[in-house]
Chains A and B, each alone.
Chain A
Amino acid sequence: MNKLILFRMLQEEIRLNTSFASGKGFYSFPVLVLISGLLATLFSDVMIEDMGYVDYLQILHVSAIFYGLFAGSLAFFGNEFLERIFGYFGLIIGLSTTHPITQRKITFLYFCKEIIFYSFFTMLPALIGALIGTYFTNINITSLSIFSMTLYVSFCTGISFAYYISSFYRKSISHAIIYSTVFITIYAILFRGEEITGTLDWYLNKEMKQLALGTIVPIFLSLIATLNITEHNNVSSISIIGYKNRFKEYSEKYTWAEKFGIPGILAKERIDLERSKTGTKMFFSFLFPLGFLTFMNWFLDKGLPIQIDFNTIFYGVMIGFFGTMLYSWLNSIDTPHFYSTLPVQVSDVIRARLLLFGTITWWIPLIFMALISYMSNELDLLPIGIIVMITVGIYIVNYTAMSTGLKTNSALFDAFVFIKFFFISVPPMIAMTILSLAINHRPSTILVALSLICGILSLLSLFFYRKIDTKWTNESFD
């Protein structure tokens, strides 16, 4: 029976993903990953030369852990998201409510499904790409295969950690925070003075004890998580009664915005944002990528022979880019199905969310910008940083809104949409990053170049904004 459930879960995962994206788009994703694996091998010499052998391998392991964590978070915290987007969404994992199978068992099978799915969908194509790459480089095929296995263990550690956190989250948010901190502390103590993962330590130093330790970590995490799952846990994050009627007040407040959106929609979206407490989630979702960036900054400083300091302008570019996340959060608060009963178009709702992005959620990136420039003693660069952040933010969010509509997360699963998104977002970011890093050398020239790019991005933002109507008119809310 377990095998059958597992098989059906895998089928369900594929069908779910192909319903988000086009079938072609979904099946092209492994090809994209294969190409990435190939490129990583082809350019590994350059990277090793720049960063150093050990640091490069460490960065790959850290990335594998984070990737596992990301994949696991999508899986274990995705149900709530799916329900909000699609209304009721029945998945096999919900079988335990109507059939004689325990939550523990079905959740464990779901975890196994996740590992199998991501292994075949991303890890295996990446390995194949890397193996093809060995044909063009001097990298030994056996050592690359062994290193890939160690990377795979790191990926499993990440995904198991997400499973572990989710098992505590079922009890309460505070349980999740406390027990993740406990695990991180124990991990830090265990690997203090060693490489970042046990398997990497074994790969570099041939210490069998470290291999055993590294392999036990994901097994231990998933075991704890499985044992931790009991029946009838229910986390309620919003109160049940006591809401004041705010609609009239807000719709009157937004009469000034009639030119850009329907005040009623703006009021509804604003209330959604407040009552779902998504603002807090948005704030914390910025911490993760920014923390990762700061870590990379520190890591590159450690590995590179020359000192590179990411300045406030660079962070302005990055934080502006993370605007996509804010817009995506706005799209995951509630299902838009009710709008289909009213005389409004998908484009009306998109425009309302863009306006909310610009008027309500602006404080989140601004707080981070101010903090970063203060901590790096670069308050003089803050005004330029803010202008860059706003320009990049508006540009990327308008493009995201135009290309993905109200289903940002699921649309980006489509390889074709993702590739377009990549080519629209990455080149201006690279250009601005290079300019930001060179600001101290020729400030006036750099400022002119930055202004020019900001001007072009603003024009393109306007173009994307205007295209929203033509692209999303007559689209359904389904």
Chain B
Amino acid sequence: MIRTKMTRLALPAALAAAMIASCGRQAAETATAPAETPAETASAEAPPPASTPVEANMTPAPPAEGELVEVLLCDNETKTTAVADGTREGGQAIADELMTQWKRKNPDAGWIDAELAMHQVKPPADNKDVVGKGQGSTYSRITEMDAALWAQETYKLAVEGSTIFHSGDKLGSTIAVSCDMCHPDASNTHPETYPKFQEQLGQVAMLRDMINWCIEHPVRGERLDPDSAEMRALEAYIIAQRQGTPLQYGKR
């Protein structure tokens, strides 16, 4: 008899551990700076571990050994059936199978690797110096996990910015012009010099004002909403590429 047992709230601890371990391994395999994989799988797919409150009556009993169990991924769609054997290897096999299925359904999941193969994006601060100190996101000491999460989420935004920066289509150019044509690797953009007075704009410009001016004129596209996801990503990429440059606001 197949007993449909799993909900996303009740993965066995062994399986949860195996999935997290699997994510961690992928992170180690991704050579380029802070790995993106954990963030992506963590947000898209891995079960929210102990932090989600679980009502007591929703917690099913662990499956008996040898019982056939259907395991549902946290997207509530992807599932697999396996024999519960209570071993770490068994849990890993289930996680691998779910991951394979999920990747097949989400072929763009590798966009970060694809972008980084083409364009270098400088990594953010790793915050290793604060690990073990102060208060982290869980109100305890800052862990390596905290620092890794901060770095990878920040990095992801900058990498997304790189995809827009290098695409006339994503920028909405009407003449097939993208930012990198004049600014390879975001050179000559000087984000550290803003705000500064731009006489041609008749005002003190922030970086986003100059980005919008460029989108409107050399790129001949439509101005972005300054709070749009695209603008935030573009700013992140441009600033990332000047990592280590001292701020000099107002500099020409």
A associates with B: no
Question: Residues of B with Cβ closer than 8 Å to A?
Answer: none
Question: Residues of A with Cβ closer than 8 Å to B?
Answer: none
